[in-house]
């Protein structure tokens, strides 16, 4: 995969990249679980809920990638999932870590609309499948297609209402109208422009924003697997080096996304950190340590309490 992948099999994890991955995975799992328990619904109108469930879906994909790599030893499929996760972490950072709240809402709404519009292309109203399947199957398909279209249309309408109420229209109507027309949620700056590319982040630039391109742009490189180019036709054995490469990049993404979540949900810090004291979650995390370096339950609990106290949540 190259020389720039993020291997961090540090001593306390027995110099094992896989153990380091599971440690980061369980810590992220705790964050996602605690936040989703608090924000139940992934509503377009609720940034906290939408962002929480965005991360829940990424959690499932991180778990899937681990199974593909560790159980099925399928290096190529693992790389495809890794590329998707890299894109997702970059998207979360761009949209939900946007410091200006009005721009954050604008990016979010355009992101939803752009996704729905692209998806609607695969859900045409025309009955193009009629005659290609038995009538009973066709009726089921047609009804499911109708439900899916209505869902996307509802999400689009909700996002459009966010745009219609945006105070950015007053700030700079020309820039606002151009960005909205282009569905340009990847805009670099809130300003008018002639060509979309002149004011839109490329994926490589988004990877740079999350620190995943230092020395080697591995996420762009693995697009060869995602797009089925020549590399996908090679016999790639899941040896120790390849396993370390894909798993190392994966937990590098987990660490970043967890850090972004902790920043975004700072008001929920106390609840999130207390989840690390729950026996079930704590035991999962402690199992990732090397036997020689595993902290005792008492030591772990004290470490977490100290972190909470540093944030001022304890007297």
- CA 310-314-315 angle, to 5 degrees, is 110
What is the spatial distance between Cα 58 and Cα 39, in angstroms, rounded to a whole number? 16
Global pTM value:
0.92
Q: Return the biggest CA–CA distance within the chain.
A: 71
31 and 264 in contact (C-beta within 8 Å)? no
In the block, residue with structure tokens 């370390």: 244
Q: Which residues pair with 187 in a beta bridge?
A: 200
- CA 182-184-190 angle, to 5 degrees, is 110
> What count of residues does the chain have?
315
The residue-averaged pLDDT of 224-249 equals 83
> What pLDDT, on the 0 to 100 scale, is given for residue 162?
98
275 and 265 in contact (C-beta within 8 Å)? no
Sequence-ordered list of residues with C-beta below 8 angstroms from that of 143, at least 6 positions apart, any chain: none
What are the tens digits of pLDDT across the range 76-131?
Answer: 999 999 999 999 999 999 999 999 999 999 999 999 999 999 998 888 776 666 66
The 3-state DSSP class for residue 29 equals helix
Phi-psi region of 166 (alpha: psi -120 to 50; beta: other; left: phi over 0): beta
In the block, residue with structure tokens 């989703």: 36
> What pLDDT, on the 0 to 100 scale, is given for residue 20?
95
The residue-averaged pLDDT of 44-54 equals 97
> What pLDDT, on the 0 to 100 scale, is given for residue 1?
42
């Amino acid at each position: 995969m190259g020389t720039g992948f993020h291997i961090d099999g540090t001593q306390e994890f027995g110099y094992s990249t896989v153990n380091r991955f599971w440690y980061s995975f369980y810590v992220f799992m705790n964050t996602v679980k605690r936040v989703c328990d608090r924000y139940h619904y992934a509503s377009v109108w609720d940034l906290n809920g939408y962002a929480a469930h965005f991360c829940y879906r990424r959690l499932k994909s991180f778990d899937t990638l681990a199974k593909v790599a560790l159980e099925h030893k399928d290096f190529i499929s693992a790389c495809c999932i890794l590329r998707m996760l890299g894109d997702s972490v970059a998207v979360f950072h761009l949209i939900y870590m946007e410091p200006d709240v009005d721009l954050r809402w604008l990016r979010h709404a355009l992101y939803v609309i752009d996704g729905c519009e692209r998806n609607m292309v695969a859900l045409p109203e025309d009955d193009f499948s009629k005659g290609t399947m038995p009538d009973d199957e066709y009726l089921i398909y047609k009804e499911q297609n109708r439900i899916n279209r209505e869902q996307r249309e509802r999400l689009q309408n909700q996002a459009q209402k966010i745009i219609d109420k945006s105070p950015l229209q007053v700030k700079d109507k020309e820039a606002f109208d151009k960005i909205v027309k282009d569905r340009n949620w990847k805009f670099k700056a809130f300003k008018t422009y002639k060509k979309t590319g002149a004011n839109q982040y490329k994926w490589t630039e988004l990877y740079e924003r999350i620190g995943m391109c230092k020395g080697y742009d591995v996420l762009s490189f693995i697009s060869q697997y995602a797009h089925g180019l020549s590399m996908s036709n090679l016999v790639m054995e899941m040896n120790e080096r390849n396993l370390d490469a894909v798993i190392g990049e994966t937990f590098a993404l987990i660490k970043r996304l967890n850090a972004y979540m902790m920043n975004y949900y700072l008001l929920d810090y106390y609840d999130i950190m207390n989840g690390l004291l729950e026996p079930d979650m704590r035991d999962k995390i402690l199992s990732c340590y090397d036997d020689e370096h595993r902290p005792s339950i008492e030591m772990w609990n004290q470490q977490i309490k100290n972190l909470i106290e540093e944030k001022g949540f304890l007297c």
